Amino acid sequence: PMRDGVIADYDITEKMLTQQLTHLVEDGWVQKKDYGEIPPRTEYSLTPLGRSFLSILYQIYDWGQSNNI
Q: What is the pTM of this model?
A: 0.74
**Is the predicted pLDDT of residue 69 greater than 60, yes or no?**
yes
C-alpha 24, offset from chain centre: 8
**Distance (Å, whole) CA 28 – CA 63:** 27
**pLDDT, tens only, 1-51:** 555 556 667 778 888 888 999 999 999 999 999 999 998 888 999 999 999
Higher-confidence residue: 64 or 7? 64
**Is the predicted pLDDT of residue 65 greater than 80, yes or no?**
yes
**Distance (Å, whole) CA 61 – CA 69:** 9
Q: Cβ–Cβ contacts within 10 Å for residue 51, how many? A: 11
**Is the predicted pLDDT of residue 67 greater than 60, yes or no?**
yes
